[in-house]
Structure 1
Amino acid sequence: MQKKVLTSRSLALETLVQWAGSGKPMQGFINRIIHDADLKNEERQLAVMLVMGVLREQEYLDIVVSRFSKTKLAKMKPLTLAALRIGVVQICCLERIPDSAAVNETVKSLKKMGQPTWLCSFVNGTLRNIARNKESIPGPDKAGPGETPVLNHPAWLTARWQKNFGLEQMQLSAGSIIRNLPSVFRLIRREQIGRPWLRSLQSRGY
C-alpha cells in the first residue's frame, strides 16, 4: 500500500475535520500533530499555526468566505469549509505566506485527499477571487454588521458580557483578549533541543 504523503496544509485540514466531528478538546489533536506527524519540524509548526489560526479567527474567516461564495456556508461539507478557512487565514491573516502558495497548496491538499475535480475547482476559484480582492476586504475590526468589530467569541459569551457590562465594554474586552494572547513555547523532547532552548528563552526573560 502506498504511504500517504502529508503536508502541513493537508494535516491541518484533516485535523480540523476530525476535531469538528469528535466533540473532543482540540489539545489532543494538537498533541498528535506535534508528536506523531511524519513531517519536518517547521511543517508541523505551520500545521499547528493554521489550525489555531482557523479556530481563533473562525468568525472573521466565515464572513470573508460568505462574501465571495455563492454557496451558503451551511450547505458546505465540513471538508470544503475547512479548506476555505485554511486558505483564507493564510491570505488574510498570515502576511509571510504568498497568496499563490496559500491557494495552490490548499487545493493540492484536497487533491491528495482524493476530492473530486469540481470541489477542488470551487475552492480554487473562491480563494483566487478572495486573493485578488484582498485589499478591499475589511479587517476583523470592521468586518461585522455595520462595520462593527468581529469578536471571534461564542455568541452566548458575548451576549452575557453585553448584558452585564454593556456593548462598548463587551467589545473592548473581547478585542483585548484576542490581541493580547500570550506567547507560548512548547519544546519537543524527541529532538533533544529542550535544555538549550530553555536556557536561551530564560536568558531573554521568558
Structure 2
Amino acid sequence: MKNSSNKIDVRLESIRILRKVDEKDVLAQELVEERCQQTNVSRRDKHLLLELVNGITRHRLSLDTILSFFSKIPPQKIEPWLLYALRLGIYQMIFLDKIPHSAAVNTSVELVKNLIRRPDAARFANAILRAVDRTIKNKYSVNHKNVNQQKLLYKKENVWCEFSEPIFPDPGENLTSYIAKNYSHPEWLIKRWLTRYGIDKTIEICKANNHIPTLSLRINHNKTSINEFASLLEQNGILARVIDNNALIINKSVVSDIPGFSNGLFSVQDITSMKVGTFLIAETPTAGAITLLDMCAAPGGKTTHIAEIIQNKGSIYALDISLKRLHRVKENCQRLGIKNITIICCDASEGKIPFRCKFDRVLADVPCSNTGVLSRRVEARWRITEKNIKQLAALQYSLLKTGSTMLKQDGILVYSTCSIEPEENQEVVQKFLKNEPQFYLDKEDCYSPEINKGDGGYMARIRKRNLGW
C-alpha cells in the first residue's frame, strides 16, 4: 500500500537498494518498482532513483577504479555504507550533468554521517570525493584523440570524461584490464570476448551494454492498432518511433508514465524478444486447433505475445519453476485480456512435464547468462562466472531435450536465449541435433547488442521429421 505522507530520500534509497542487489539474488529494476509502489514518489524522483541504481550498478568497476586511485584502502575493504556513498558521489559528479559537484559531495558525506555516525568516516568520504572533483578536468571531452587514454573514461557515444591524472590501466601493457575497468565489465568476460571478437567489436559491445536502453512497446492488436496507440501517445506528449505494425520505441523510461498500460493496450518487450514469437508461429495451422507449450514462461512477455499472434485462439500451456514469477504471467494475461493460456508450476528440466499429449509448437526460452541484455539486466554482469556458463549449458540442453519429447511429428521447437555465448547457443543446439537425428535445424538467428543498440540473443527453429510411423 502506498504511503502518501512518506517522501523518500532518493539518494539514501538508492544505496539501500544497491546494497540489497549485491547481497541478495534480486533484480535492481524490481526493487525500484517495489519501493516506488510503497511510497509517495514523484515522477522526477523515480527517474532519478532509476538512474542512480542502474547507473551505479552498470559503472561499478569504473567507479571503484577511480576510488582506488585516491584511496589507500581498496574498495573491497571499505565498509559497505561508506563504499556505496562514495560510489554515489563519484557517479553523480561524472555522469549526472544537472547535479553540481558540490551537491554530489555534500549529499554523500551527509549520508555517511547519518548511516555510520563516525567523524573519521565522514572525513574520509569528504577527502576522497573532493580529490575526485579536483581531478575531473573536462566532463564533456569530445576532442580526445591526443589525450592519454589512461586519463579518459567513456561516458556515452563520442563523449568522455577527462581527468588530470592517469587513473586507468595502460592499454599497451594490459588491454584486458583497461577495457574491463574503463567500460566496467568483469575481466574474464572481456578476455573471452577479445579472443572471439577482437578489440573493436568487444569495445562496441561494452558501449552498448552501458547505454540506457530504449523502451520498446508491443501493441496488443486485440485491443488497439499501432496508429491508434501512436496517436494516444502523441496526445500525451510522448514521442514515438514506429518500428513496424507491432512495435514502437518511445522516449520514456518509466512504464507508469505511459497511458494504456493498465488497460492492456501494450506490453513492454524488446524488439529482439518480439522476434521469438513470430519465429515460433511459422506456417501456423488453424489457430483454433494449435497447441503450444512454453516451458519457461515467466514473466510472460513471449507467452502473451504468442497468444496475441494467434488471436487468443488455440491452447497455450505456460510452465515455470517459480510460482511467484507465474503470478506475473497471470497478471499480464488478465491485463491484456488473454484467455487461452493455462498456467502450471513445474520444473521442466526434470523431465516431469504433466502431459501425455504432444504439441504443435514448443518454446524453450531457457535460463541463461543474460550476456546479450546487460544494458537492461544491470546486475547480471557481476553475478555470472565462467563456471556458471558451463552449468547453464547443461541445464539448457536438458530443457531442450525435454521439450523435444513433447513435440508432434512435423512440429516446431524454438530454442532461445538472451545470451551471446556460443556455449549456450549454437553448441547446445549442435549437441542436441547430433544426438537426436529425428530433428533438424530449420533456421537460426543471432543478435548482437551493439547492432542498433538492441538486445542480443539467439534463436533456433528446430523441426521434427515426419518418419511416417
Give TM-score scaled by structure 2 length.
0.38
User: As a proportion of its length, which structure holds more strand?
Assistant: 2
Q: Which residue number in structure 2 is paired with residue 63 of structure 1?
A: 65
Name the structure, 1 or 2, with higher relative contact order (CA <8 Å, separation 6+).
1
> Are the equivalent residues in 1 in contact too, given 2:52–2:88 (CA < 8 A)?
yes
> Are the equivalent residues in 2 in contact too, given 1:15–1:29 (CA < 8 A)?
yes
> Are the equivalent residues in 2 in contact too, given 1:110–1:120 (CA < 8 A)?
yes
Inter-CA distance 64–171: structure 2 relative to 1 (3 Å threshold): same
Report sequence identity in percent: 24
> Are the equivalent residues in 1 in contact too, given 2:7–2:41 (CA < 8 A)?
no
The runs of 5 or more residues in structure 1 that have no matched partner are 187-195
Inter-CA distance 98–197: structure 2 relative to 1 (3 Å threshold): farther
Q: Does 1:182 align with 2:184?
A: no
**1:116-195 to 2 correspondences below 5 Å:** 116-135=118-137, 138-140=152-154, 144-147=168-171, 148-149=178-179, 150-179=182-211, 181-184=212-215
> Are the equivalent residues in 1 in contact too, given 2:29–2:50 (CA < 8 A)?
no
Deviation digits for residues 94-137 of structure 1 (CA, Å, limit 9, x no counterpart): 11110010011112222333532211221111111111221175
> Are the equivalent residues in 1 in contact too, given 2:81–2:116 (CA < 8 A)?
no
Deviation digits for residues 58-91 of structure 1 (CA, Å, limit 9, x no counterpart): 1111111111112111211222111111000001
Distance in 2, Cα, partners of 1:60 & 1:67: 11
Secondary structure, counterpart of 1:139 in structure 2:
strand
Inter-CA distance 37–91: structure 2 relative to 1 (3 Å threshold): same
Letter in 2 for 1:56: R
Distance in 1, Cα, partners of 2:90 & 2:238: 35
Distance in 2, Cα, partners of 1:198 & 1:155: 44
Q: Which residue number in structure 1 is paired with residue 313 of structure 2?
A: none
Q: List structure 1 runs of 4+ shifted beyond 6 angstroms.
A: none
> Are the equivalent residues in 1 in contact too, given 2:233–2:239 (CA < 8 A)?
no
Distance in 1, Cα, partners of 2:50 & 2:70: 26
Aligned-residue offset at 1:203: 5.2
Distance in 1, Cα, partners of 2:198 & 2:48: 38
Secondary structure, counterpart of 1:145 in structure 2:
coil
Letter in 2 for 1:182: P
Q: Which residue number in structure 1 is paired with residue 284 of structure 2?
A: none
> Are the equivalent residues in 1 in contact too, given 2:193–2:202 (CA < 8 A)?
yes
Distance in 2, Cα, partners of 1:198 & 1:119: 50
Distance in 2, Cα, partners of 1:65 & 1:100: 18
Q: Which residue number in structure 2 is paired with residue 192 of structure 1?
A: none
Letter in 1 for 2:131: N
Letter in 2 for 1:152: S
Q: Which residue number in structure 2 is paired with residue 200 of structure 1?
A: 236
Letter in 2 for 1:108: E
Deviation digits for residues 43-71 of structure 1 (CA, Å, limit 9, x no counterpart): 23212211111011111111111111121
Letter in 2 for 1:154: P
Letter in 1 for 2:198: G
> Are the equivalent residues in 2 in contact too, given 1:37–1:44 (CA < 8 A)?
no
Distance in 2, Cα, partners of 1:133 & 1:183: 32
Q: Which residue number in structure 2 is paired with residue 42 of structure 1?
A: 44
> Are the equivalent residues in 2 in contact too, given 1:8–1:47 (CA < 8 A)?
yes
Distance in 2, Cα, partners of 1:67 & 1:19: 25
Distance in 2, Cα, partners of 1:53 & 1:178: 8
Letter in 2 for 1:156: W
Q: Compare CA radii of gyration and give the structure with the larger one.
A: 2
Q: Does 1:77 align with 2:79?
A: yes
Secondary structure, counterpart of 1:30 in structure 2:
helix
Letter in 1 for 2:215: V
- Could you tell which deviates more after superposition, 58-67 or 24-33? 24-33
Which of 17, 20, 23 lines up with 2:19 in the alignment?
Answer: 17
Letter in 2 for 1:70: K
Letter in 2 for 1:200: N
Aligned-residue offset at 1:4: 8.9
